[in-house]
Amino acid sequence: MKLAVFASGFGSNFSALLEAEKQKKLSAEIALLICDQPKAKVIERAVNESIPYYCLSPKDFPSKAHFEKQLVQILEEHEIDLIVLAGYMRLIGSTLLEPYRNRIINIHPSLLPAFPGRTSIADAYYANVTESGVTIHYIDEGIDTGPIIYQEVVAKKPDDTLEAFESRIHSVEHAIYPTVLEKIIQEGETNEKTSVN
């Protein structure tokens, strides 16, 4: 089972997944990083761990379809089975979605459908919620929509700073993303065996 991680920024979830692979808690190979931001910290992480990476921006292509066609070609060349979004701040279009439907998973730092988008932790914090959380879901055409696989509630304490709340949410992400992915991989393999027998 070969995974490609897509990320746009800091890459703490990418590192958590790599750590899980090293500790054999994730029975898949993180074979590739796809990044759309040349200055993203996540690229340094890939270089340090000798993970091949591609940095491509849609603005260098005539259309989003051309951009995604190039991504599909890279994914096919590397025989990628599953795409794992980890802070990839771009909507997936049909050119990429169709060949990988039900094989693209996202993590989002809120209890979807509440607080979709790029600033969900701050949005929940300033909305004075008493709890928010983390959602892991399959990708569809929408922004942070698609069938939900798993959600975990994270409390917001009355005296939390935004940073403390953010850090609690990230800790939960780093703990649950590898575990949930491992479960999906195991269930997929069981289903494959059942359908062959």
Q: Respond yes or no: is residue 108 known to be catalytic.
A: yes
Nearer to ligand GAR, 43 or 107 (CB): 107
Tell me the C-alpha distance between 183 and 51, whole Å.
Answer: 23
34 φ/ψ angles, rounded to the nearest 5 degrees: -115, 125
Whether 104 contacts 139, CB under 8 Å: yes
Residue 4: both structure tokens together: 């490609």
Nearer to ligand GAR, 120 or 132 (CB): 120
Of 108, 137, 170, 174, which one is the catalytic site residue? 108
Q: How far is CA 140 from CA 6, 72, 104, 156, 184, in A?
A: 15, 16, 9, 29, 17
What are the helix and strand counts (H, E) for the chain?
6, 7
Provide the residue count of the chain: 197
- Which positions lie near ligand GAR, rule CB under 6 A? 7, 9-13, 86-87, 107-109, 118, 120, 144, 170, 173
Q: Check the annotation: does 191 bind a ligand.
A: no
Q: Report, in Å, the least distance between residue 147 CB and ligand GAR.
A: 16
Q: Report, in Å, the least distance between residue 193 CB and ligand GAR.
A: 32
Q: Report, in Å, the least distance between residue 101 CB and ligand GAR.
A: 19
Q: Check the annotation: does 128 bind a ligand.
A: no
Could you list the active site residues?
Answer: 108
Binding residues for (6R)-10-formyltetrahydrofolate: 64, 89-92, 106
